[in-house]
A and B are shown apart, each in its own frame.
Chain A
Amino acid sequence: MQQSYDAIIIGGGHNGLTCAAYLAKGGEKDGANKLKVLVLERREKVGGAAMSEEKYPGFTYSTCSYVCSLLRPEIFRFLDLPRHGLQVIPYDINSAPNPEGEGIIYYNDHDRTRESLRRHSIRDAEAYDEYAMEISRHCRFIKRTLLMTPPDPTQLNPFVQNRINPWGHREDLDGLLRIGREFGRLGERHMYDMIRFWSMSVADFLDQYFETPRWKGLAAASSIIGTALGPYSPGTAYVLLHHYMGEVDGQIGAWGFARGGMGSVSKAIASAAEEAGVEIRVNAEVEKVIVKDGKAIGVALKSGEEIYGKSIVSNADPKRTYLKLIDKGDLDAIDPDIHRYAKNYKIRGSSGKLNIALDGLPQFAGLGPEAAYGTIDIGGDFDYIERAFDDYKYGSWSKRPFLDCVIPTTVDPTMSPPGKHFMSVFVQYVPYQLAEGPWTPEMKAQYEKDVLDTIELYAPGFRKLVLHVQCRTPWDIESEVGMTEGNIFHGELTLDQLLFNRPFPGMGQYRGPFDNFYMCGSGTHPGGGVMGAPGANAATEMLKDFKRGVVQ
């Protein structure tokens, strides 16, 4: 049977493309073992959820993901993305409007933030130093685990040999020891805080430091974005790190806009991949993964065409991969539990999006014009967010939703006509399916209205500026991008689905249940957020297997 490719990657999202580029470059800079890679993308262009589209004449929308920070600098450098046209413009302000008084403003600059907190509470301003120190401790610890393959605690015997580790199983033990050493560096006192931090609710965590309700609400924002949990749910505290983990050209914790919208991130990675020799085919929807006696040998396209390769990589989310692309029979032949894992995998659509074309810059209550140059979090105290979550819990969108808004056109004029603006509104707590059943146009209209009314409340006069609205529910995002339930992280980022348990217990090392089958999407460690890390890590593991002749 003809095998024209070393690796066939299903899906041209940012992780698929990153993985492809790494494989084609052979991992190492000198390119010792370059692979022949094919990327198959269902849609007419690559990018998946990192996409820029012109949905309204003259306006470029970042249709799904909207800000950029978590993309690992290692990848940025290794693929030399700036040369491929990626330019990230940092912004340094994150604010919460307040119709009843002065809004809250957070800056990247520590001292400016402390000063702006002082306007609300001296106690909070003083606590902020302690708080920032603890957060950065946690970040430093987490960062080191992002670009490593999560060790499997059940595989610690260094002498057990298997095909993947023909000379004895070392990585897992080494990995654990490495994490252990990092942990040891914290010193006993901080160890307690860190372990506690991992299982706490963000509300409990912030209550230890701060008193101003609206500031706590703003600070909690990043720990509930994209997750189907409320601020009072235990295990939300560590998701805070997603907000602080990132960096823009070396500036830790900074967030930025990709010039030309998030699509340019995918474009840059794609051009890096193609330069390395990757072949990208669009309008090529994969229907099935072809499995022959326990080995993945190729893919069958919707068109009926079959393409064979030495290895198959799925950039799709775990549920889609294991329930749609692979036959149950093939899974059960290996292990009947896998199908159950896939069925029980928590991948809840919990967020929607409104992309809005504006005739001018809105003015937010209690904030100066500078606010428009960063993220604006429309919410309130913990209760506000928790109530928004309560609506969601019982199968409805939040009547008073929590909104995470950006207006990239304030710093990137290329995305809209002069004087006009594009506003991206991320709506937290929108169910994939309503209690009454699937979304209807009327309900969607009502949901859109509720969101716009909420914005109007926090930015008086906003409605008059609206030129066009693209309203999207998790259901829309699924049918368009293909992420199951429209979950932006390819699966809840809860502790039960992290590290060696992501996506499924015992399959946390990017290898699928069959030989020659791999996962490289956000459904693998370390998860979503346009990080690129899953793609890069998957490539590293694959190259290992190629070197060791596991894949022939």
Chain B
Amino acid sequence: MTDIIVIGAGHNGLITAAYLAKAGLKVTVLEAAPQIGGAAVTREFVPGYKVSGVAHLLHGLHPTIARDLDLARHGLDLKAQPIATRSLLPGGRSFDASSIASISRADAEAYPAVMARLARMADALAAYALHTPPRPDIAKMDWREKLNLGKFAWSLRRLGRKDMLELTRILTMNVNDLANDYFESEAVRGLLCFEGVLGLALGPRSPSTVFNLLYRLSGLGANGQGGFLLPRGGMGSVSQALGKAAQSAGATIRTGAAIDHILIENDVAAGVVLSTGDEVRAARVVSNADPQRTALQLIGPRNLDTMFVSRIRHIRMNGCAAKIHLALDGLPEMLADARGRVVIAPKPDDIERAYDCAKYGRVSDQPALELTIPTLNDPSLAPAGKHVASIVAQYCPYRLRETAVNEARHQIGERSLAILEEVAPGLRQRVTAMEVLTPHDLEAQYGMTGGQWHHGEITLDQVLFLRPAGQAQNYRMPVPGVYLCGAGAHPGGNISGAPGYNAAREILKDVRAWRAA
């Protein structure tokens, strides 16, 4: 008899399991897939060629968690140099943070100060990442919530009057306006805009994209890994390390165990029912699945009140990015030593037009791309001399109108290749095999509703106590004994592990209270 069941061995599920096991609870993790890791896995997509399944860069993982779980001892190397971001422009031009001067002298001067300022603001916001979101009603807050909130307010105030006011100004703005405020060159603006819209079904001109930018920046600062990392062995190695950490703490992990639904007896969690029909009983069930899957499938609307169900139903989960994997028998010279992260988004309006297509349910005619070639840092991922390219292509909407899914898969693949061919001539004939995962494929393979890799877009109306939905922000689902530990809970995605960390804390609170009683 186990105390707690964790549904899904994604990174957050494993982190929750590890913390709970460390606290001396009997924890069983049930994973549907044959391997652990959820969206952070290393897959062989063609014989001999391995690639990171969905997430292909590590930056958000919270240092506190890495330290607590001693991930270094379990084989995760976080010492690696953060990789730089290089933006490729048409006509063989390109730039990174150090060579902006080649694009615009003014921007080269402005860039460091602007990014430092944004990072300061992002860090101030990220101060809340490892806390449970408060209730908006101050009257109902306990002293701990008030203290956290006070600390948070203080960390904002510490920015100084100017920066605090600037933060309140830009927080709701669109990233295109921000870019126009700070930079003059289309190229630099384009890069900033791309950072602002990555992972959203929004364009550079849509308000609230600056928030997404700050959210991503927060993962690059003191509350993250300080930069983008390409872990050895792909993202799977992160999950493997977390898995080892959980097991060494005493948690049991069962793969190939798909859950049909959560067992609820007299309105309280009693365990889970596997798709095979067997029951696993436990007093507490933690779901690493996304909020819609958790509430609407695992718990089931009949066990929930209508207001909560409608709130969950209206979470925006329109996945908009496709994942493309290329097997290459060599590299075009434009990418010959692209050890870093490559972004192809030359102009804000290009991204905006790409979004316009998605807005009306079509695949972008000219998608914006983020590309990494992990084999340059880690040859073990492909046969000798061969390479792997991992590409995020935006936009490929989950909500298609006229286009059929197979058609969309073909379109996003072809159009992305066409763009790559433009900036890196000769890539096409290097491609020996290609895999395209549309949001529909991601949904099918990883069980993320809508193929939304954050388990719900990171926009102002879906964060803090609105994540996953009002009155469920404290990681407890309305059914006693059921918890949410996935990216659908505060603070959200980006392989930060913070949701899992926070969920574990809240669960332990309940366990202690129950023992005391």
**Chain A interface (Cβ < 8 Å from any Cβ of B):** 153-154, 180, 183-184, 187-189, 191-193, 195-196, 199-200, 204, 207-208, 229, 232-235, 337, 340, 344, 346, 383, 386, 390, 393-394, 494-497, 500-501, 505-506
Bound state CA distance, A154 and B470, in angstroms? Answer: 28
Give complex CA distance A192, B473 in Å: 11
Q: Are the C-beta atoms of A232 and B359 separated by less than 8 Å?
A: yes
B194 CB, min distance to chain A CBs, angstroms = 18
Interchain Cβ contacts under 8 Å between A and B, 30 examples: A153-B168, A184-B137, A187-B137, A188-B136, A188-B140, A192-B136, A192-B465, A192-B470, A195-B465, A196-B470, A199-B459, A199-B461, A207-B314, A208-B314, A232-B359, A234-B202, A234-B207, A234-B460, A235-B207, A337-B162, A386-B359, A394-B349, A494-B207, A495-B171, A496-B168, A496-B171, A497-B169, A501-B168, A505-B165, A506-B162
Residues on A with C-beta less than 8 A from B157 are 154
Is A208 a contact partner of B172 (Cβ separation < 8 A)?
Answer: no
B177 within 8 A of A: yes
CA distance A495 to B138 in the complex (A): 23
- Beyond the given pairs A184-B138, A196-B461, A199-B172, 9 more chain A to chain B contacts, judged by CB atoms under 8 angstroms and listed by A's residue number, are A188-B135, A192-B471, A233-B174, A233-B207, A234-B460, A235-B172, A494-B172, A500-B165, A501-B168
Query: Which chain B residues border A496 with CB–CB below 8 Å?
Result: 168-173
Query: Closest 6 CB pairs between A and B?
Result: A192-B470, A505-B165, A199-B460, A495-B172, A191-B136, A235-B207
Q: Are A234 and B208 in contact (CB under 8 A)?
A: yes
Q: Give the nearest-CB partner of A194 in chain B.
A: B136
Contact A505 B207 (CB under 8 A): no
Whether B136 pairs with A196 at a CB distance below 8 angstroms is no
CB distance from A202 to the nearest CB of B (A): 12
Residues on A with beta carbons closer than 8 Å to the beta carbon of B349: 394
| A195 and B463 alpha carbons, distance in the complex (Å) | 11
Q: Which residue of A lies closest to B181 (CB)?
A: A344
CB-based contact B165/A154 at 8 Å: yes
Chain A residue at minimum C-beta to C-beta distance from B352: A393
Q: Which residues of B contact A183 (CB under 8 A)?
A: 136
Measured between alpha carbons, how far is A165 from B278 in the docked complex, in Å? Answer: 72
Do B205 and A233 have beta carbons less than 8 Å apart? yes
A340 to B162 alpha-carbon distance, docked (Å) = 13
Cα A496 to Cα B172 in complex, Å, equals 6
Shortest CB distance B179–A (Å): 11
**Which chain B residue lies CB-closest to A508?**
B165
Q: How far is the CB of A429 from chain B (nearest CB, A)?
A: 13
Q: How far is the CA of A233 from the CA of B169 in the complex (A)?
A: 17
Residues of chain A contacted by B515 (CB below 8 angstroms): none
Which of B172, B177, B356 has most chain A Cβ within 10 Å?
B172
Query: Given A195-B466, A234-B459, are A393 and B136 also a contact pair (CB < 8 Å)?
Result: no
- Residues of B bordering A, CB below 8 Å: 135-140, 157, 161-162, 164-166, 168-174, 177, 180-181, 202, 205-208, 307, 310, 314, 316, 349, 352, 356, 359-360, 459-461, 465-466, 469-471
Q: Kindly list chain A residues whose C-beta atoms are within 8 Å of the C-beta of B174.
A: 233
Q: Determine if B165 and A506 form an interchain contact, defined as CB atoms under 8 angstroms apart.
A: yes
Nearest-Cβ distance from residue A521 to partner chain B, whole angstroms: 19
Q: Which residue of chain B has its CB nearest to the CB of A188?
A: B137
Pair A184/B139 contact, Cβ less than 8 Å: yes
List B contacts of A192 (CB < 8 A).
136, 465-466, 469-471
Among residues of A, the one whose C-beta sits closest to the C-beta of B137 is: A188
Q: Which residues of A contact B136 (CB under 8 A)?
A: 183, 188, 191-192, 195
For A193, the closest partner residue in chain B by CB is: B470
Residues from chain B with a CB closer than 8 A to the CB of A497 are 169
Instruction: Kindly name the residue among B162, B169, B208, B316 whose own CB sees the greatest number of chain A CB atoms within 10 A.
Output: B169
Closest to B161 in A: A154
Query: Given A189-B471, A191-B136, A386-B359, is A495 in contact with B207 using a C-beta cutoff of 8 Å?
Result: yes
B461 and A200: CB pair below 8 A? yes
Q: A195-B136, A196-B470 are in contact. Are A501 and B310 (CB under 8 A)?
A: no
Least CB separation from A394: chain B residue: B349
Minimum distance in angstroms from A318 CB to a CB of chain B: 14
Inter-chain CA distance A337–B207, complex, in Å, is: 23
Chain B residues positioned under 8 Å from A154 (CB to CB): 157, 161, 164-165
Are B137 and A393 closer than 8 Å at their CB atoms? no
Q: How far is A187 from B173 in the complex, measured between Cα atoms in Å? A: 29
Q: Are B356 and A390 in contact (CB under 8 A)?
A: yes
* Whole-angstrom CA separation of A340 from B114 in the bound complex: 14
Within the complex, the shortest CB–CB distance from B208 to chain A, in Å, comes to 4
Q: Which of chain B's residues have a CB closer than 8 A to the CB of A196?
A: 461, 466, 470
A131–chain B nearest beta-carbon distance, Å: 13
Residue numbers in B under 8 Å from A188 (CB-CB) = 135-137, 140, 471
Q: Which residues of A contact B138 (CB under 8 A)?
A: 180, 184
Query: Is B165 in contact with A501, judged by CB distance below 8 angstroms?
Result: yes
Cα distance A494–B208 in the bound complex, in angstroms: 11
Q: Which residues of chain B are within 8 angstroms of A229 by Cβ–Cβ distance?
A: 207
A496 to B174, CA, bound (A): 10
Counting chain B CB atoms within 10 Å of each CB, the highest count among A153, A154, A183, A337 belongs to A154
| Smallest beta-carbon distance A506→chain B, Å | 5
Select A393's contact among B171, B205, B207, B465, beta carbons within 8 Å: B205
Residues of B within 8 A of A199 (CB): 172, 207-208, 459-461
The interface centre, meaning the residue of A153, A346, A505 with most chain B CB atoms within 10 A of its CB, is: A505
A344 — which chain B residues lie within 8 A by C-beta? 177, 180-181
Pair A506/B466 contact, Cβ less than 8 Å: no
**Among candidates A180, A189, A204, residue contacting B314 with C-beta atoms closer than 8 Å:** A204
CB pair A383 B172 closer than 8 Å: no
Cα separation A229 to B316 with both chains bound (whole Å): 20
Given known A-B contacts A393-B205, A394-B349, A506 and B172 have beta carbons under 8 A apart:
no
Q: Cβ of B202: which chain A residues have Cβ within 8 Å of it?
A: 234
**With the chains together, A208 CA to B314 CA distance in Å?**
7
For B169, the chain A residues whose CB sits under 8 A away are 496-497, 501, 505
* A184: chain B residues within 8 A (beta carbon): 137-139
Residue picked from A180, A195, A337, most chain B C-beta under 10 Å: A195
B201 (CB) vs chain A CBs: closest residue? A232
- Determine the distance from Cα of A497 to Cα of B349 in the docked complex, in whole angstroms: 23
In the assembly, what is the distance between CA of A394 and CA of B137, in Å?
43
Question: How long is the Cα–Cα vector from A196 to B359 in the complex, in angstroms?
Answer: 22
Pairwise interchain contact B461-A191, C-beta atoms closer than 8 A: no
Known: A154-B165, A188-B136, A199-B208. A234 touches B470 (CB 8 A): no
Q: Give A176 Cβ to nearest chain B Cβ, in Å.
A: 12
Q: Which residue on chain B has the smallest CB distance to residue A382?
A: B359
Q: How far is the CA of A187 from the CA of B314 in the complex (A)?
A: 22
In the complex, what's the smallest C-beta–C-beta distance from B164 to chain A, in angstroms?
Answer: 5
Output the least CB separation between A48 and chain B (Å): 27
Given known contacts A390-B356, A494-B172, A496-B172, A234 and B177 CB-to-CB distance under 8 angstroms: no
Chain A hits for B177, CB < 8 A: 344, 346
- CA–CA, A108 and B164, complex, Å: 42
Q: Nearest chain B CB to A207's CB is how many angstroms away?
A: 8
List the A side residues contacting B170 at CB < 8 Å.
496
Which of A234, A235, A506 contacts B161 (CB under 8 A)?
A506
| CB neighbours of B352 from chain A (8 A) | 393
Please report the C-alpha to C-alpha distance between residue A500 and residue B169 in the assembled complex, in whole angstroms. Answer: 9
Rounded to whole angstroms, the CA-CA distance of A494 and B169 in the bound complex is 10
CB distance from A394 to the nearest CB of B (A): 7
CA distance A153 to B205 in the complex (A): 27
Pick the contact of B461 from A234, A386, A506 — CB < 8 Å? Answer: A234
Q: Which residues of B contact A207 (CB under 8 A)?
A: 314
Chain B residues contacting A506 (CB-CB under 8 Å) are 161-162, 165
Closest A residue, CB atoms, query B157: A154
Q: Which residues of A contact B310 (CB under 8 A)?
A: 208
Within 8 Å CB of A386, what residues of B? Answer: 359
Q: Are B206 and A233 in contact (CB under 8 A)?
A: yes
| Complex Cα spacing A233 to B161, Å | 29
Nearest residue in B to A192 (C-beta to C-beta)?
A: B470
Q: Which residues of A contact B360 (CB under 8 A)?
A: 383
Residues from chain B with a CB closer than 8 A to the CB of A200 are 461
On chain B, the residues within 8 Å of A340 by CB distance are 181
Residues of A within 8 A of B168 (CB): 153, 496, 500-501, 505
